[in-house]
Each structure stands twice: as structure tokens, then as C-alpha cells.
A and B are shown apart, each in its own frame.
Chain A
Amino acid sequence: MSLAVASAALASTRADFRIRRRGPAYLVMLVGSVLLGLLAAPPRDAAFQVLELGPYRGEFTTGYLAAVTAMAGGLWLSFAGFAAVRGALARDEAEGVAELVASTSRPTASHLLGRFGGAVLVLLSGALVLLGTAVAIQLLRGESTRIDPVALLLPLAVVELPLLLLAAGAAVLWDTVRPLRGAAGAALWFVVWMVLVIGGQSGRGLDLLGMGRITRSLRDAVVAQGDDPHRMEFGVGLTMNGPSREVVHWAGLPAGSWLELVPQAVALAALALALVLAPCAWYRLMPPRPAGRAEAAQAAQAAQAARFRTAGLGAPPPALDRPFPLLAEVRLLLLGQPWWWLPLLALTAVAAGFTAGAAPAVWIALMPAWSRLGVPAPSPASDIVAACPSPGRRRLATVLAGLAVTVAASAPAALRNPSPTWEAVTLGLAALALACNAATRSPRLFQALFPPLWYLIVAH
């Protein structure tokens, strides 16, 4: 990589980080990181744990808290953070920045690297806030007041950071593949994340969170203090396990054990970089205009001109006193999706009418439509719509359109096996989508929440 490309990438990183950190999603992520830190080091009588150890909990030392926050951050920040950092390239295209950068002498690679860098800085700042929260809690709890900088930073460097790099790299890659920019991308990342991170905990995949080493070391610590290691159960996430816990005196993994994870961390970082640079082969900063748009515009203009020439402007059709644009809202939900989406939704809905196994797939198939529910059109279209009469009736039409699409898609399954639970959950998910989208004016929160929620519903 030449110095000039690196310099452009650095400037792009700076600009991207500024844009991101001035947005509301950044603040939400930092607040989330603080909350995650509080969960990772819960009060003594708390009924939950981020690092599940059966009847035990670790002593709040730097080593223990750094390990727990690195695992929790690697797990949750890589998932939720992905939703927070994706969409940068779509934003650049919408704002016209992509076209400007495309006309400079080092466009694609430095731009992609810059967007990756910005995403990494956002996620890293979340990780640092998480770590800071853990340190603050350690000092407040006073079980150990010694701060060991090596024990504090090593887990971040070899466990959490590589996963965040991977999430940031995937966010850039997903952005360069148009079908993955919306709901499909969120669902796919959930699957990838489940396989990589959750799969890693089961011992069947890569030990991305360092669980294998940590559990062995914790067992040794339990044995050393004369307790029964077989009572220990391990898991990272958020589990409810009752408040009374015995303390394990564990100073954290020795530095040597953490360093054994360095090759894996380097490999993950290299993979992340490959994910970022691979799109140079196909991604163009200024994508071609939608097929036929210019021609269609020209044809429409010519037709309009001809009409005006011969007839002038006729009297407009009488306007409704109280418009109720239900059909327009339904059309808004259904159109503009990829060509294959509507047939897929229909197919899934029909299949759910024959077999119960296909029913949860209806929710997945509905995700792109739900992702649009209540999201305002980009400006200036949103301004035009906002200036239309009867805003209350229009909002009602939006809700009813979502309801109509949801009911229509879930009807075959409901007819096969009438169950209030099925309809309640389906409508509940639609309502969640509407609430999230309307509150954040974007589908991202819903797209981040929906896949794990779907998984939990189906699993239970």
C-alpha cells in the first residue's frame, strides 16, 4: 500500500469517525457499553451473570474483569456494533461523497479502508468504555484495588479487538453487496455471528473468546482453593442463576496464555482486512444509475410535453377531503424490494399453510417489509409527504398497511392451525418493527433486534 493511499485512508477514517460519533447511534452504543460493563460486574446479590460459572463467581480483580469484559464485548459488541457501523457506503452514495471520491486519484481501496477504520474506531471506543466501566466497578467494589495494565489490555487486544475488526470488516463487505444492505444482511450476520462466536463456546469451532483457556484456568483455581471443579458450568452471555455465589480467587489468565491467542487474533485481523479489500474487485464508488431511469424520465418528460402541447393543463381530478392512502402505503411496503422477495414471501406463506416447520420462516420472509414499516422516506421526499394533508390518517394507513401485509402472509399458517399465540407473536413482531423504526427513523435497531429475538422465540 502506497503512502498516498495510506494517507487518504487515514483522512477517510478521521472523517468517517467524525460523522459516526456525531450521530445518535454512537451515543446509544456507548450507553450500551456502560450497561454491559455493569452487567459484567454485577452486584453481589444479582441473579444474573455474563460469565456463567455455576455456583461460583470470580473475584473482582483486573484479570477477571478484563477477561469477562473482553468476552462480553467480543460477543455483544461484535453483534450489536455491526448494526451500528453498517451502512457507511450507502450513506456516502446518498450524500454524493462517493461520486466526489470516485473522481480522485485513489478512490476505492482508500475509501473502503477509511470506512473500515471509522467503524473500528467506533467499536473500539465502545470496548474502551466497557473496560473503563469494569475498572471503575473494580475500584468501587474494592475486592482488589490493584490495577494490572497488562492483564487489563491483553484480553482486549487478543480476544475482543479481533472480533470487532471482523465485525467492522463484515459491515464494509455487506455494504458493497446491495442485497445485503437491508434486512437480509442483518439476518446473515446473525447466522455468521452465531456460528463463529456462539459456536466457539461449544468447543466445536475456533476458540474465538478464549473460553477453553479461561475455563481450564478457572477450574485449576477452584481446585487450588479446595473446591469441587465439577460443580462449575461455563457459558458467556447473560444467564440467570440465583444470587448466592462462592468466590473464586482468580487473577486472570497468565500473559503467556493470552499470547497463545495471538496467531488466531492476527488471522482474524487479516481476514477482516481481506473482507474490506476484496470488494475492490467489484465495488464501484459511483454505482450505475438504476436501469432505464434516465430513459424513463426522458420518455415521461416527452409524453408530458406532448400532452401539455396539445391540451394544456386540464382540470385536476377532485381531491378527497380526507385522504386515506392505505393502498399507497401497502405498495410502499411491498415495492422497491428485490424482485425475488415477493415470490419468496408468497412461497414461504403457502408452505407454512402445509407444514408447521415453515411457519417461523414467514417471520424471516416478512423482515424486509417490517424493516420499512414506519421509516420515513429520505428527504426531500419526506418533506413532501410531511406537507400532505391528514397526517394522522396517513399514519393510521401506515399501521394498517403493515397489519394487512402481516396478516396476509401469516394467514395460511393460521388457517392450518388456528392459534392465538401465532397471530399474537406475528403481530407483536410487526408492532416491534413499527415502534423501533418510528422511534429511530431507521430500520437498523429492528434489524439488530429481530434475528436474536426470532432465534429465542423459535428455540423456546
Chain B
Amino acid sequence: MTAPRQQPPRLTLDNVSHTHRGAGHPALERLSLDLGPGVVALLGPNGAGKSTLMRILATVVRPTAGRVLWNGTDTARRPEPLRRVLGYLPQDFGAPARLTAAEFLRYLAAAKGLPHRAARARTAELLAAVNLGGEANRRLGAMSGGMRQRVGIAQALLNDPRLLIVDEPTVGLDPGERSRFLDLLGELAADRIVLLSTHIVTDAAASADRIAVLSGGRLRRAGTVAELLRHTAGSVFETVVPSSELPLMRARWQIVRTARAEHGVRVRLLAPGGRPPEGAAPAAPELEDAYRLLVGEQPSAAFAAGVGAGVPA
């Protein structure tokens, strides 16, 4: 099915910056990365610049500075070589409600240059692969959000891409589909680059060979899970405190998560290079710890804290 490939693909980001028109601050700032085959997870909070970076890599938006090189070719000057082998699932994938899944896929297959007959076969094959084989003639408007998302995943695979960019792909998928999809990404990544953008740390941990943490438009760190964990070693602690002490702890330390315990609240916190609270025991770092340490405290965590003190965050 797939032609033998001579060289592994290479995607290079060279000081890529992007400022939205009229915005005072860049959405992305001097980002450099060199990527080869494998799953690379872009991890970052909302507004970190992940989707902007994804759009730049998908050649939909041009960087305002810097270059993106696909096998050595500047994609802003010559997007065609990349577009021919690109699969892209954007974050806000809506899909035309009045087309059936098969019609939609065949339309995009033509836009990607697949011959008519091959498009029909590929459409059937991919719909089966995403568990929608029996829904080919169902209109997208009549599908659930998760089913539409699976159609989105299928369209990204239409042209057997060498660079697959998926932006928040597991949104709306049930746990079984999510796990299946992450496995599929792992299989696909054997000889191609799969770029997965997410803010779900467990998705990144489950599927990624490398993780790049983005925050405020900047690359905070990139490396394997092991490398990120090494960076966090010695900074993670756990303790149990009465729930009345929780606000005080939040003011002094970065809380990763809380859970109800028999005599109060079990708190997992970060104390990088500083002093942990009295009685806190060092804990083995997890990817969530490394991520939180790199991006700083996030509004979602703080929001949860404000809503219900002492309730698991």
C-alpha cells in the first residue's frame, strides 16, 4: 500500500515567531526544534501558542519570522512538497453538516490529489479503521461530536501522510476510542512524524516519544519523558494537612493536586530548589509534575481551588 521510503522525514523549526495582526505580543517567540520520525507531543496550557504553531506547520499560516524546513525546503517559500504529504486535523474541526462521512472524505481526497477510485477505496478503509464503517452514509450533522472527530482523524490520514499534525485530537472521544487513537498514532509514527498537540498530560505520556512544553508562546523544554522527569527530580513532595491549611499552602507552594485523606487532604506540591513544608515527604516525579513545574501554576488549577477548597483538583 505504501511506497518504500528512502529517507526518514525531517522537520526543522528555526527561530519561528508569529505575531497575530494587530496584537502587541507574539503568540510564538523564537521557537527552534528539530524533529524526526516518532510521536512528538506539544504540551501546553490554553493560549500557549500550540494551535498557532500547528497552523504554521500545516502551512495555513506563515510565520512572521524564522523558517520551517521540511526535508530542508522552506515551507513558506515552497509549501507544495510538504502539503503533498501532510495530514492535518485542526482544533476547531467542524465539518459540513449536510455531507455524509463518505462524501466529505471523498471531497477532501480529491483536494489532496487522490484519484477517484483510490479515494473511494481509501475512504472505506479509513472509515473502518476509525470504527465508522457502518456510518459512511450518515450525515455529519447527525453524528455525535466524538464520531465527527473520528471522521476528522480519518480525513487526516487520507493521503498516507509523512507528517501528521493533530491538534487536540482526543477531545470528545470516549476512553476506549481515545486509547485506540493514541495507539494508532504510535503505529503510524514508525516512519513518519506525528505531531500531537494537547493539554492532557496523560495523552502525551501515553503516546509521545518526545515532549515539547510550550507556555506563553515560548518553548520551555523539549525532551523524552525521562529527561523531563530528571529535570523535576527533587522538587516533588507529598504531605497530608488539615483542609483549613490548604489556602495557606496554595499561597506558598505550587500545588499539583489534592485528594481527600482520612485526616485531612493529601497534597502533592512542587518546591523547586526551595524548602518543602514541614513533614512533607519527597515523591517520585511524574510527567504532570514536570509539566506544571515548567509552565507555572495554571488558571484551571487555581480555579478548581477557588471553587472547592479541599476537593481533589
Mark A residues whose CB is within 8 Å of B: 4, 7-8, 10-12, 14-15, 18-19, 22-23, 91-92, 94-97, 99-107, 110-111, 285-286, 288-295, 297-298, 301-302, 304-305, 308-309, 311-313
| Interchain CB contact under 8 A, A298 and B303 | no
Q: Which of A19, A99, A292, A293 contacts B98 (CB 8 A)?
A: A19
Identify which of B1-9, B56-64, B196-204, B259-267 touches chain A: B56-64
Question: A14-B107, A301-B46 are known contacts; what are 10 more A-B pairs with Cβ within 8 Å?
Answer: A7-B116, A12-B110, A19-B99, A100-B155, A103-B88, A104-B111, A105-B84, A293-B23, A295-B25, A302-B299
**Cβ distance B251 to chain A, nearest Cβ, rounded Å:** 8
Q: Which of B108, B297, B307 contacts A104 (CB 8 A)?
A: B108
**Cβ distance B18 to chain A, nearest Cβ, rounded Å:** 10
**Cβ distance A23 to chain B, nearest Cβ, rounded Å:** 6
Contact partners of A101 in chain B: CB under 8 A: 108, 111
Contact partners of B46 in chain A: CB under 8 A: 297, 301
Contact partners of B22 in chain A: CB under 8 A: 290-292
Distance A4 CA – B83 CA, assembled complex (angstroms)? 14
| Interchain CB contact under 8 A, B299 and A97 | no
Q: Which of B21, B84, B94, B112 contacts A96 (CB 8 A)?
A: B94
Distance A291 CA – B109 CA, assembled complex (angstroms)? 33
Mark B residues whose CB is within 8 Å of A: 20-25, 27, 46-47, 52, 55, 58-61, 80, 83-84, 86, 88, 90, 92-99, 103-104, 106-113, 116, 139, 155, 216, 247, 250, 297-299, 302-303, 305-307, 309
Contact partners of A291 in chain B: CB under 8 A: 20-23
Distance A94 CA – B84 CA, assembled complex (angstroms)? 25
Contact partners of A23 in chain B: CB under 8 A: 98
Contact partners of A18 in chain B: CB under 8 A: 98-99, 103
| Interchain CB contact under 8 A, B20 and A100 | no
Contact partners of A14 in chain B: CB under 8 A: 107
Distance A14 CA – B155 CA, assembled complex (angstroms)? 17
Question: What is the count of residue pairs linking A and B with beta-carbon distances less than 8 angstroms?
Answer: 146
Given the interface pairs A105-B83, A291-B20, the reply to whether A110 lies near B111 with Cβ below 8 Å is yes
Chain A interface main SS type: helix
**Cβ distance B6 to chain A, nearest Cβ, rounded Å:** 20
Distance A104 CA – B80 CA, assembled complex (angstroms)? 8
**Cβ distance B166 to chain A, nearest Cβ, rounded Å:** 12
**Cβ distance B83 to chain A, nearest Cβ, rounded Å:** 4
A-B residue pairs in contact (CB < 8 Å), sample of 24: A7-B113, A11-B107, A12-B110, A14-B107, A15-B96, A95-B94, A99-B90, A100-B111, A101-B108, A103-B60, A103-B83, A104-B111, A105-B84, A107-B111, A285-B60, A288-B21, A288-B61, A292-B22, A295-B24, A298-B216, A301-B46, A305-B302, A309-B302, A312-B247
Distance A60 CA – B166 CA, assembled complex (angstroms)? 62
Distance A19 CA – B58 CA, assembled complex (angstroms)? 26
| Interchain CB contact under 8 A, A308 and B303 | yes
Q: Which of A15, A100, A292 contacts B23 (CB 8 A)?
A: A292
Q: Which of B88, B109, B250, B297 contacts A305 (CB 8 A)?
A: B297
| Interchain CB contact under 8 A, B98 and A295 | no
| Interchain CB contact under 8 A, B99 and A15 | yes
Distance A411 CA – B60 CA, assembled complex (angstroms)? 48
Given the interface pairs A95-B96, A110-B111, the reply to whether A103 lies near B86 with Cβ below 8 Å is yes
Distance A301 CA – B80 CA, assembled complex (angstroms)? 37
| Interchain CB contact under 8 A, B47 and A100 | no
Q: Which of B59, B95, B106 contacts A11 (CB 8 A)?
A: B106
State the 8 A-B residue pairs at the shortest beta-carbon distance, nearest first.
A291-B22, A11-B110, A305-B299, A312-B306, A15-B107, A95-B94, A96-B94, A22-B98
Distance A77 CA – B27 CA, assembled complex (angstroms)? 47
**Cβ distance A10 to chain B, nearest Cβ, rounded Å:** 7
Identity of the chain A residue whose Cβ is nearest the Cβ of B47 in the assembled complex: A298
Contact partners of B97 in chain A: CB under 8 A: 95
Identity of the chain B residue whose Cβ is nearest the Cβ of A309 in the assembled complex: B302
**Cβ distance A364 to chain B, nearest Cβ, rounded Å:** 29
Distance A174 CA – B90 CA, assembled complex (angstroms)? 26
| Interchain CB contact under 8 A, A292 and B24 | yes
Distance A311 CA – B302 CA, assembled complex (angstroms)? 10
Contact partners of A312 in chain B: CB under 8 A: 247, 305-306, 309
Given the interface pairs A305-B298, A308-B299, the reply to whether A104 lies near B305 with Cβ below 8 Å is no
| Interchain CB contact under 8 A, B27 and A295 | yes
Distance A102 CA – B306 CA, assembled complex (angstroms)? 42
| Interchain CB contact under 8 A, B88 and A100 | yes
| Interchain CB contact under 8 A, B306 and A103 | no
Distance A15 CA – B95 CA, assembled complex (angstroms)? 12
Given the interface pairs A4-B113, A103-B88, A308-B306, the reply to whether A286 lies near B61 with Cβ below 8 Å is yes
Contact partners of B111 in chain A: CB under 8 A: 8, 11-12, 100-101, 104, 106-107, 110-111
Given the interface pairs A8-B111, A15-B104, A294-B23, the reply to whether A103 lies near B96 with Cβ below 8 Å is no
Contact partners of A95 in chain B: CB under 8 A: 94-97
Contact partners of A4 in chain B: CB under 8 A: 113
Contact partners of B80 in chain A: CB under 8 A: 105
Distance A14 CA – B100 CA, assembled complex (angstroms)? 13
Contact partners of B23 in chain A: CB under 8 A: 291-295
**Cβ distance B270 to chain A, nearest Cβ, rounded Å:** 15
| Interchain CB contact under 8 A, B305 and A308 | yes
| Interchain CB contact under 8 A, A96 and B93 | yes
Task: Output the residue of A290, A297, A298 with the most chain B CB within 10 A.
Answer: A298
**Cβ distance B146 to chain A, nearest Cβ, rounded Å:** 16
**Cβ distance B27 to chain A, nearest Cβ, rounded Å:** 5
Given the interface pairs A15-B96, A15-B99, A305-B297, the reply to whether A102 lies near B60 with Cβ below 8 Å is yes
Contact partners of A288 in chain B: CB under 8 A: 20-21, 61
**Cβ distance A300 to chain B, nearest Cβ, rounded Å:** 9
| Interchain CB contact under 8 A, A309 and B297 | yes
Identity of the chain A residue whose Cβ is nearest the Cβ of B93 in the assembled complex: A96
Identity of the chain A residue whose Cβ is nearest the Cβ of B106 in the assembled complex: A11
| Interchain CB contact under 8 A, B112 and A105 | yes
Distance A95 CA – B107 CA, assembled complex (angstroms)? 15
**Cβ distance B230 to chain A, nearest Cβ, rounded Å:** 28
| Interchain CB contact under 8 A, B113 and A96 | no
Q: Which of A15, A290, A304 contacts B299 (CB 8 A)?
A: A304
**Cβ distance A97 to chain B, nearest Cβ, rounded Å:** 6
Identity of the chain A residue whose Cβ is nearest the Cβ of B89 in the assembled complex: A100
Contact partners of A22 in chain B: CB under 8 A: 98, 139
